[in-house]
A and B are shown apart, each in its own frame.
Chain A
Amino acid sequence: MKDVTETLIPRAINWNRLEDEKDLEVWNRLTVNFWLPEKVPLSNDIQSWATLKDHEKDLTIRVFTGLTLLDTIQNTVGAPALMPDAVTPHEEAVLTNIAFMEAVHARSYSSIFSTLCSTKQIDEAFRWSEENPHLQAKAKAILNTYAPGQDPLKRKIASVFLESFLFYSGFYLPMYWSSRAKLTNTADLIRLIIRDEAVHGYYVGYKFQRGFEQQGEARQQELKDYAFSLLFELYEIENHYTEELYDGIGLTEDVKVFLHYNANKALQNLGFEALFPAEVSEVNPAILAALSPDSENHDFFSGSGSSYVIGKAVATEDEDWDF
């Protein structure tokens, strides 16, 4: 160890000398998007919560406990595990931001719980999360790849799958409630989490692509095979997890389509092609609208609106425009 420390000069991070512009771009995005759960008026959902049936409440608490577990893993293990593999000092700084925001996410679910649920309900759900074989299986599959000594690029693959795929069996439910005008403030908070996870998956996927392009052909094939086989393994688990949670409410098939759609997006973050064909990945429009409210475009090619409609844009404050 002594030899190693002697050869390393401690270096102060210089944000005015970038090796990769993407580091600053993502740092800026993440810091501007910073938020805390206190910003969302969760207590406005108390009345709406009371209209849910008991099994719907149980489902919701379990789903959020499952999400808490994934955020806890990313906060304490996942993001820190990527730091030794960082290729720029700025990447390390971005990862510290990611790690902290995962803690904010994990903390947010407890804010939802303390607003809406009894201590008994909360404790039961946390016990459930420790005993549920499918939730535990997915947590362990990811944790194995994060272990010390594992392949840095494979670790990034696992991280992107967690950020861009594994969360979505859970994220589906608040989007579903929101599409039915229930728990809408909770949905606002979840959308903030979704937004963050999208940047995380994008950034780690980007760093994966930079590492991937420097590998030889055989190694690239190995990484690609690994990515698809890990995705299949996680997909199997997600199917079971989804059935167990959503069969009782009759939403399993709808959630599975959402899983396919998000698995394809996770692969795209890694620079790979989509896996699931369009027929099984066309998400319920109500869920898509809940994901990105007020962003509906009446565009020309879909033939949804009258043709050749000029976009109605949000005012831009950007000084860079000359006209």
Chain B
Amino acid sequence: MQKQSVFHSKFLPYLLVLPQLAVVLVFFYWPAAQAVIQSFLLQDAFGLSTTFVWFENYQDLLSDPDYFSTIVRTFLFSVAIALSSLSLALLLAVMADRPLRGSTFYRTLLIWPYAVAPPVVGVLWVFMLNPSLGVIAHGLRNLGVDWNPLLDGNQAATLIILAAAWKQISYNFLFFLAGLQAIPSSVIEAAAIDGARPMRRFWTIIFPLLSPTIFFLIVVNIVYAFFDTFGIIDTMTRGGPAKATETLVYKVYSDGLLGGNLGSSAAQSVILMGIVIALTAFQFRFVERKVNY
């Protein structure tokens, strides 16, 4: 069979890929290039004059201890969000994989949260955990917890992690359930006959066979925690209190759009892009080795 198409005109193939190229160029490369250029510029407070300052924006950032704590915070958030949403989703998927009555019904219910937009998730949890109005906050206070995420940075961080993880559970659940259902039941049965108890069966058979799914989800969840939590943070805490919930993406937004420091904001974007590229490359290079396809 002929796999390569033959074009009689030299221009037709270029014409055909043009729409895709245009989309990528206009919506990715152009803004990315803009950000790189912007990161070398410094504007005055009124936006009247712009100076080319080479790497000054980067130097300022990298010598700022605040920026480092933001990086560390972002990593902690990502790990906490990925870990909690992955493990909870796996637990739910293992439960839902059992042949029980009405499984379609509660599987559907478990998938619903994914249909909720991040800012809505934020609003939802803010309401439930609002110190003066929230249902859960009320319960917590009755339990003797001094609950006030508006003042307590750690509580605010917990709140963000909780909401962000909750939102991502559905997505992870879907993939885990599909992964579990792809494991032939006879393999599990063979393990049962081979004397493996349910817990051992899970860790020695099911978990290794799920590893491609787990790896994929780790990559997706880290990227999610890095970028897509913006909506949640913005509606819940706006990075506060005292920047306790400010991640790299939120800092890009607050420094650039709220603080008006476009040069620094652009430099942060470039660094963030670098971090994510490095992180993904690292995952593929080192974590993927442990995956059994």
User: A and B bound?
Assistant: no
